[in-house]
Amino acid sequence: MKIGVIGTGTMGSGIAQVFIEKGYEVILNGISESEIKNGFNIIDKNLDRKVKKEKITLEDKEAILEKLNICVEIDELKECDIVVEAIVENMEVKKELFKKLDEVVKEDTILATNTSSLSITEIALSTKRPDKVIGMHFFNPAPVMKLVEIIEGVASSQETVDKVHELCNQISKDPVMVKEAPGFIVNRILVPMINEAIGILGDGIATKEEIDKAMKLGAGHPMGPLELSDLIGNDVVLFIMEVLHKEFGDDKYRPHTLLKKMVRGNLLGRKTKNGFYKY
Ligand code: CAA
């Protein structure tokens, strides 16, 4: 089985890594030579860390990387049995990509999106195979987090759902089934919680360290909400809040002004080396 992954950011490269580590042949597609180099470097570094920790040998690393092919042309994905898209969270850009993909890949290829909150149904409409379009939502860091949310659009077929479910099992992920709805399960719960933590900081009620410590020690979370926001990307957190706010129309989903200010100031978290914390 051949896997295509589109997008060379943290999620795209993390997803590609998951598949090659399980022995799948992967074609990782990015928009430019420098982007695909970037994706390759993320994977290479992650595997190096595993070698250093003696989780894998250098020979294992080389064998894993053998499975990875990188390309800038969408046409090179034509032989893939499933393509997982992990590009920018922009509906128009995703629709354009899916339309093109639909023309390039085989008739029975499944087109999955790693979108964190956009409508699978709407993305699927840009193709002539809405029954084979599905959400496959991985969590950051993808090589570590066990969950994949499998999101059924209105037209996703049972056969597509079953195939993606089986594939998740093959890559040692533990999936949950979700019917399409804004934020699915995790982000509908997690992201408003992060927004609330930002509100507590913005209101001057506690310091960032105290807020993070409180949720780690008081709620058993592995990371505090503000350090987690930096990991996810504050722009992504804002985007998801805006989707929830727009779709539900409920004021409880209004993004906090501090979050908006930080995104305007390019304080996006780890990816810009500056967010609630400095990296
Ligand atoms: N990429 C790859 N591997 C990573 C990594 C990364 N960015 N960060 C950590 N790891 C690996 C480490 O190498 C280590 O591997 P081994 O066990 O094989 O040695 C393992 O993860 C644990 O890492 P650490 O010991 O360094 O640190 P930790 O125990 O604190 O775990 C963590 C790190 C896994 C990130 C943990 O803090 C955690 O689970 N945090 C919460 C993450 C979370 O909630 N993610 C979901 C975000 S929401 C989302 O992604 C959806 C969306 O649409 C926005």
Catalytic one among 149, 152, 180, 227?
149
- Give per-residue pLDDT as tens, 94-142: 999 999 999 999 999 999 999 998 999 999 999 999 999 999 999 999 9
pTM of the model: 0.96
ipTM: 0.96
Instruction: Tell me, yes or no, if 32 is annotated catalytic.
Output: no
Pocket test for ligand 1, best of 21, 144, 193, 270 (most atoms within 8 A of CB): 144
137 is catalytic: yes
Residue 174 phi/psi, 5° resolution?
A: -115, 95
pLDDT (0 to 100) of residue 171: 98
Active site residue 116: yes
Q: Residue 10 CA: which ligand 1 atom is closest? A: 7
Q: How far is the CA of 238 from the centre of ligand 1 (A)?
A: 21
Among protein residues, the one with the nearest Cα to ligand 1's atom 45 is 140
User: What distance in Å separates the CA atoms of residue 105 and residue 110, rounded to the nearest whole number?
Assistant: 9
Helix ranges (H only) for the chain are 10-21, 33-52, 58-66, 91-104, 120-124, 158-170, 186-202, 208-219, 225-232, 234-248, 257-264
**Amino acid 137: pLDDT:** 98
Nearest CA, atom 28, ligand 1: 222
**Residue 177 token pair:** 């089934």
187 given a catalytic annotation: yes
> Which is catalytic among the residues 116, 117, 126, 195?
116
Q: Which atom of ligand 1 is nearest to the CA of 17?
A: 2
